[in-house]
Structure 1
Amino acid sequence: MIKDLPLSYRLKTIATYLSKGTKFIDIGSDHAYLPSYVCLNDPSAKAIAGEVNEGPFNSAKQTIKKYDLTGQIEVRLGDGLDVLRPNDSVYEVVIAGMGGTLIRRILENGQHKLRNITRIIAQPNIDERDTRIALTTLGYTIVHEQMIEENEHIYEIIVADLVTDDNQTKWTDKELFLGKILLSKRDDLLIKKWQSQLAAHRKIIQQMKQAKHLNQSKIRQFEKEQTWMEEVLANNE
């Protein structure tokens, strides 16, 4: 039955960071393929599939019914963490496949729902820095970062655990932008991503400098980011 579940390599990789026997919420679950995959592989796991739109919400319910997982997975309609209820024994959150700024908004708006959450697994499609800022300011420490490539797009998976003491690791602006753990790994995908991004960044800076009304602070920020990219690539030579 698992063989016919259409789960991407990206989502399978995300699933490896969930604890065995977990109870988790998948925010923006779409067809609920990730919770279904996890629960089919782990009968002791339970999940809530949260979806804000009616169409994907109904698709998720159909998936749960198809794989006979109504005893393990509950599908709820709502915005972000709003679908969590006070009596839910949920300890892990997956929030994947959306922009990093949206992930940040969802986590910050729902921070009062994070009291019992010990792990957050985030996979922003863009604006990874915003996701890292949210995680590190909401009482979590980033413990894993992984890059994967799928369909010619490079994704970053960011895993953060709840800080249980006062030893919150500080991240510099550069580390928030590039990924502190990714910088320490320095794998081929890191180089590939920033080689591609550097050219686009230079073009944006050039366009901003040619604008009628110059935004100097934004130009300085982009130039700083360009320097960080160049440092990564220079260290690879």
Structure 2
Amino acid sequence: MVKLSKRLHTIASYVPEGAKVADIGSDHALLPVYLAQTGRVAYAVAGEINDGPFEAASKQVKEAGLGSVISVRQGNGLAVIDEHEVDVVTIAGMGGALIVSILEEGKPKLASVRTLVLQPNVAEDQVRHWLVRNDWVLHDETVLEEDGKFYEILCAYRHPDAASANRELYRPKRLGEGLIVESVELARYGPLLLTRGDAAFYDKWKSEIEKISHIIAGMTRGGTEAAYKRQQELLAERERIEEVLSCWQKVKPS
């Protein structure tokens, strides 16, 4: 049986039993192979656009003897699946903007899909905004650290009243006695992540503070007006993250 990273194992845990899944950008098809080997899925499509990963995925599936369960296909995004072919789509290891582009361009292929499991490497807020605009509701989200990197995994469901559910999910939240986290910020931090006590959430945003501090330290004094404006924006961003984390620590669940 193939072994998965902590990141891929977490993604696998969100795939419902008996699902028909399409893994877009499947690379070596590790996720579909694992799901098939564990009997978690009835059928899977491993989609990959690039020649090398496509060939690696085909080899992986063949060596695992799973050609009757997993179809390896080469193509761009959701173009590799037919309408009503799958009920779960997983997309992992890409930037948030690219994931949004894949979902937007392939919307007709999502008609039968009931679960999206998405792991953007950056721009997670763009993915959350797309889900809201297209009547998907976050069922769960996880942040984890692996090999010095932080990953957010978002699981979204179809909902009979998505508009109402999302209004409630992204309603401005109060942290502590006075701090209000607005809807736009909830999309950045994660509306569910912000209500939990996960240590990885704190570590991720502490790491973000360090990155911002490093950028500020590298900015030269006496630069252009645009550079000064950017420096002030970064200082304000860092201060806000520190404020959110401070309040989050005081009210986080034990």
Please report the TM-score for the alignment, with normalisation by the length of structure 2.
Answer: 0.83
Q: Residues of 1 paired with 2:113 and 2:230: CA distance?
A: 35
2:112 to 116, 131, 134: 116
Please show how residues 6-21 of structure 1 align to structure 2 within 5 Å. Answer: 6-21=3-18
Q: Secondary structure at the match of 1:214?
A: helix
Distance 1:139 1:185, change over 3 A: same
- CA deviation map 1:101-130 (0-9, x unaligned): 211111122222211111100111122111
Q: Residues of 2 paired with 1:21 and 1:32: CA distance?
A: 18
Aligned to 2:241: 229
Aligned to 2:208: 197
Identify unmatched segments of 5+ residues in structure 2: 171-182
1:214 to 226, 241, 245: 226
Pairwise CA RMSD: 2.3
Q: Residues of 2 paired with 1:68 and 1:39: CA distance?
A: 10
- CA deviation map 1:209-228 (0-9, x unaligned): 96525179877765564344
Q: Residues of 2 paired with 1:132 and 1:178: CA distance?
A: 10
- Number of residue pairs aligned between Structure 1 and Structure 2: 233
Amino acid at match of 1:30: D
- Answer with 57-66 or 106-115: which moved more: 106-115
Aligned to 1:162: 158
- Answer with 129-138 or 14-23: which moved more: 129-138
Amino acid at match of 1:183: L
Aligned to 1:58: 55
Distance 1:124 1:139, change over 3 A: same
Check the 8 A contact 2:46/2:57 in 1, yes or no: yes
1:139 to 97, 111, 135: 135
Q: Residues of 2 paired with 1:138 and 1:201: CA distance?
A: 32
Aligned to 1:106: 102
Identify unmatched segments of 5+ residues in structure 1: none
Runs of 4+ deviating beyond 6 Å:
215-221
Distance 1:208 1:118, change over 3 A: farther
Amino acid at match of 1:125: N
Check the 8 A contact 1:208/1:219 in 2, yes or no: no
Aligned to 2:175: none
Aligned to 2:178: none
Q: Residues of 1 paired with 2:64 and 2:101: CA distance?
A: 33
Check the 8 A contact 2:4/2:30 in 1, yes or no: yes
The alpha-carbon deviation at position 179 of structure 1 amounts to: 0.6
**Larger gyration radius, structure 1 or structure 2:** 2
2:25 to 19, 28, 53: 28
Distance 1:215 1:32, change over 3 A: same
The alpha-carbon deviation at position 204 of structure 1 amounts to: 3.7
Check the 8 A contact 1:208/1:214 in 2, yes or no: no
- Answer with 212-221 or 167-176: which moved more: 212-221
Q: Residues of 1 paired with 2:101 and 2:229: CA distance?
A: 23
Q: Residues of 1 paired with 2:222 and 2:43: CA distance?
A: 54
